[in-house]
Structure 1
Amino acid sequence: MRILIVDDDPMMQLGLEQVLGDRNNIEVVGLAENGKLGVAEAIEKKPDLVVMDIAMPELDGIAATQQIKEKLPDTRVVVLTSHDSQQEVMGALSSGADAYCVKGASVERLISAITAAIDGATYLDPQVGRMVIQNLQTTSPAVPENSANLSSRELDVLKLLVEGKTNTEIAKDLFLSPNTIKTHVKGIMNKLAVDDRVKAAVVALRTGLV
């Protein structure tokens, strides 16, 4: 698992590099001190995953995440930050971030976030999850036109996707192959008019599909 770390705090960079580098299945392939350099490093090195701070000079983590996702859609992004306001959380998720972890959390929680993101699932720190639910409760539902066309199997997959399960876990629960689940997830995102799993889960909860 090739990981790029983007954070303007040198001590945080060093700490993350040591913690992640000690894992047998992780290779830290680069460090960047701001979002602009982070995007450039990501394009050059094409990591599997980027650990991204939010508040940085030159280009913030939200804008950097959006640019990385546009240029490298298969690269996963885990936002790791001390910023946990609702605006920043929803901004990060809307930019395409696959996971959101708050600084100060345990190393195992960060590893869980990274593992979930790599596996195609979503991960939200518990306190962040509460903010997302609050946002859903105060946002008017907008039902996509094609949502009624979801098949019963797609609804089964969507329910498990909302629970944060990976494609492999969903396949096991439904006794299907991971490739079949991947096809269903793509169909779900197309019908819900979204481009990632987090947004699909948000739409599902907001509109009452799940």
Structure 2
Amino acid sequence: MKRLRVLLVDDHSLVRAGVRALLGALPQVEEIIEASSGREAVELVRARAPDLVLMDIAMDDMDGLEATRMITAEQPEMRVIILSMHDTGDFFDQALRCGACGYLLKDAAVSELEMAIAAVMRGDVYLSPAVSRHLVGNMLSRDAPEVRAAGALTPRQTEILQLIGSGLGTKDIARKLDLSVKTVEAHRAQIMERLGVRDIANLLLEAARRGLITLGRS
């Protein structure tokens, strides 16, 4: 992994100082930029082009969800991890739909922060285990009959989808199934087309809603 320029967004200076210290100890982090509001974060993404954004939710001026929506609308490839104290399902769902590719609780272990960064930078979605359990539980309770529908996926596509849901990246899936990376990518594109989604975050949401995967399963 290349060394990263990280934008840290939180309106509490003590929180930023703590997270900054953790980030500074990670070998893959080269530079840390700080913002104290969502609006400032949007401006700094435009001006400084970070590789990764760690975004709080509850902030004055512009909250983290709206800032994430604006950032990813302008730069769809930008990787945003929500770093929040909120552990309710509505926040998880909104964060992913706004374009975030990760959701990490502020009481997570230090090692989980490093895992989340590694996951999103290789193109995967990272959700804390507690987040995954809550999110899937809410989805299953909303529409049980539809969740049971398996969808029109082939056995191989279902297998690949389940591996994506377990957190494996494309190269890992290719090695595990003895397939080429291009073959896995082709299957993934077909899965997304059949489930009617355009990105990995919504692929996981839709697959979990249909009961095809359980997020957070190792």
TM-score by length of 2: 0.85
d(CA) in 2 for partners of 1:110, 1:53: 14
Shift of 1:183: 3.6
Question: Which residue number corresponds to residue 81 of structure 2?
Answer: 78
Separation of aligned partners in 1, 2:164 and 2:62: 31
Instruction: Return 47-56 or 84-93, whichever deviates more.
Output: 84-93
Per-residue CA distance 1:138-194 (angstroms, 9 max, x = gap): 222668xxx52x444333321211112111211111222334433432332233222
Q: 1:14 aligns with which of 17, 20, 25?
A: 17
User: Is 1:26 matched up with 2:15?
Assistant: no
* Change in 2 beyond 3 A, CA 1:18/1:179: farther
Work out which of the residue numbers 181, 192, 196 in structure 2 matches 1:178: 181
Residues 59-208 of structure 1 aligned to structure 2 (within 5 Å): 59-140=62-143, 148=152, 150-208=153-211
Give SS of 1:138's match. helix
Q: What amino acid is aligned across from residue 173 of structure 1 in structure 2?
A: K
SS in 2 for 1:30: strand
* Amino acid corresponding to residue 196 of structure 2 in structure 1: A
Matched residue pairs, number?
Answer: 206
Taking structure 1 as reference, are residues 168 and 2 closer, same or farther at Cα in structure 2, changes over 3 Å only? farther
Q: TM-score, normalised to structure 1's length? A: 0.88
Q: Distance in 2 between the 1:121 and 1:8 partners? A: 27
- Counterpart CA distance in 1 for 2:94 and 2:72 is 14
Is residue 43–residue 72 contact of structure 1 (8 Å, CA) maintained in 2?
A: no
Greater mean alpha carbon deviation, residues 89-98 or residues 109-118: 89-98
1: CA distance between counterparts of 2:163 and 2:71?
27
Q: CA deviation at 1:26?
A: 0.9
CA RMSD of aligned residues (A): 2.0
- Give the partner amino acid of 1:62: L
SS in 2 for 1:63: helix
By how many angstroms is 1:33 displaced? 0.7
Contact 2:140 2:211 in 1 (8 A): no
Preserved contact between residue 5 and residue 33 of structure 2 (Cα < 8 Å): no
